[in-house]
Amino acid sequence: MKQKKHRSRAVTIFLWVCLIAYLALLLKVILFKFDFDTIINILNDQDELKLTRVNLVPFQTIRFYLFSGRVSDTIAFQNIVGNIVAFMPIGVLIPLLRRDLSLKFTFFFSLALSGAIEITQYLTGLGSCDIDDLILNVLGGMSVSLILLLLDVISFVILKILKASRKKSRKRS
């Protein structure tokens, strides 16, 4: 088993501050995108809560954005790519805080965070509750973790090759 290298307390604190700042920004962008008065009106309007849009059919909204022709390419791009990019920091921050590339933990953290946001949107009316958002959010968090894992594997293989070539060159000398 790989032993974790010691990390300074300052780096750990910095990473936690980054995660907290990221989560605050994420909540601001997703849940609190309206001004204060609008948020209060939405929360107080029971009819608004009844009209909260819910999609529990996977890929329905994505297909709508991509193939319906009723949404501009710009809006479709912003929604789909925005949902992916919004969760990419999770794919970096979680492995750095845990000091391992646990894909399972990153997956469940992304899933839980996105699920909590979607449920909050449903309960409060501060947005729409959409399974496609959850899928895209998890994809964003996982994509970065997968890239980091791939880079880790590539660097491991390169180091093994270099080590083996050094051994061969020493034996020849």
pLDDT, tens digit, for every residue of 91-140?
Answer: 999 999 988 778 999 999 999 999 999 999 998 888 889 999 999 999 99
What is the C-alpha separation between 138 and 48, in angstroms, rounded?
28
What is the C-alpha separation between 70 and 55, in angstroms, rounded?
18
Q: How many residues does the chain have?
A: 173
pLDDT of residue 1: 44
The closest of 28, 27, 148 to 95, measured between CA atoms, is 148
Q: What is the pTM of this model?
A: 0.84
Does the pLDDT of residue 6 top 90, yes or no? no
3-state helix/strand/coil string of 8-54: CHHHHHHHHHHHHHHHHHHHHHHCCCCCHHHHHHHHHCHHHHHCCCE
